Amino acid sequence: MRSVVRRSALLFLKLMKRNDIPEFSVLPKHIGIIMDGNGRWAKKRGLPRYEGHIEGAKTFRRIGEFAADIGIKYLTFYAFSTENWKRPKEEVDAIMQIFREYLLEADDRKKENEEKGISLRFIGERKGMPADLLELMENTEKQSRDKSNVILNIAVNYGGRHEITQSVKEIARKAVKGEISVDEIDEDMISKSLYTGGIPDPDLIIRPSGEYRISNFLTWQSAYSEFWFTDVLWPDFSEEDLIAALREFEKRNRRFGGV
């Protein structure tokens, strides 16, 4: 099944390239995507929830590759939140296994990713993650560290408020040590100390599944993001849906508090 989905995605991209990748008057530099609706997708089909996460992982690969081909420089996918540990153990274990398989597959596709210039990074709290996953994450980051065509962030064990709290603690430690003064603390310092330090804030955040909230995703960074919502469940999210979101983004008038 996985090979069929992969062939279908490649065929679609070949067709798109044959007619040229869609052109846009303006493109977001950074897109954040909340991958939501996997469980509901499975429930609608009478399947266990983990089946939805398997399908969601396939969608993640397709959309990530397509966005990179369009020319999106930074992509951040919300994969697993700090609150998701509350879910049934069977579901959490399944998600971790899917993540494990993705990292092993990324290692197999190392050459392909290198050719595309993809840098894989993981943002979130690493404490509490399975040791073997941490090792795979670190190896994956190390292998692609010098690539810069596309920065692909995967938010795992991530929570926006936790991220801000950790940032504030680190700044406070520096202030206590006398490395910085209180007057030096500003928005730029906080931004640089976040997991996404050095990366532009997301211009566009996409949330499928019919929910209208950010769910603790990029809480600080999304202050001036544009949002695009759809009722489509994540496993059904298509290249056409991404194009629709980008077409809507083209129409937005981003004033950043100005006139």
pLDDT for res 132: 95
Task: Check whether 106 has a pLDDT greater than 90.
Answer: no
Is there a catalytic annotation at residue 20? Answer: no
pLDDT for res 116: 83
Q: Which listed residue (36, 201, 203, 241) is catalytic? A: 36
Handedness of CA 90, 2, 247, 155 (dihedral sign): positive
Q: Which listed residue (19, 20, 69, 84) is catalytic? A: 84
pLDDT for res 219: 98
Distance in angstroms (rounded) separating the CA atoms of residues 24 and 247 = 7
pLDDT for res 63: 96
Collect contacts of 66-71 with beta carbons under 8 A, ≥24 apart.
66/9, 66/13, 66/239, 66/242, 67/31, 67/242, 68/116, 68/118, 68/149, 68/150, 68/152, 69/13, 69/16, 69/17, 69/21, 70/21, 70/22, 70/24, 70/27, 70/242, 70/246, 71/21, 71/27
Task: Check whether 109 has a pLDDT greater than 90.
Answer: no
Handedness of CA 208, 211, 216, 222 (dihedral sign): positive
**Which residues lie closer than 8 Å to 214 by C-beta, 6 or more apart?**
34, 160, 205, 207, 222, 227
Task: Check whether 4 has a pLDDT greater than 60.
Answer: no
Q: Which amino acid is at 111?
A: K
Mean pLDDT of 145-172: 96
Distance in angstroms (rounded) separating the CA atoms of residues 24 and 56 = 27
**In the structure, what pLDDT confidence band is assigned to residue 137 with cuts at 50, 70 and 90?**
very high
Is there a catalytic annotation at residue 186? Answer: no
pLDDT for res 259: 56
In the chain, the N- to C-terminal Cα span, in Å, equals 51
Mean pLDDT of 74-97: 96
Tokens of 143: 């292998």
Task: Check whether 164 has a pLDDT greater than 70.
Answer: yes
Task: Let me know: does 72 contact 78? Beta carbons within 8 Å.
Answer: no
**In the structure, what pLDDT confidence band is assigned to residue 23 with cuts at 50, 70 and 90?**
very high
Q: Give me the phi and psi of 191, to 5 degrees please.
A: -60, -45
Q: Which amino acid is at 84?
A: N
**In the structure, what pLDDT confidence band is assigned to residue 20 with cuts at 50, 70 and 90?**
low
The CATH fold of domain 27-159+201-220+241-248: Undecaprenyl pyrophosphate synthetase (3.40.1180)
Task: Check whether 111 has a pLDDT greater than 90.
Answer: no
Task: Let me know: does 150 contact 72? Beta carbons within 8 Å.
Answer: yes
**Which residues lie closer than 8 Å to 86 by C-beta, 6 or more apart?**
none
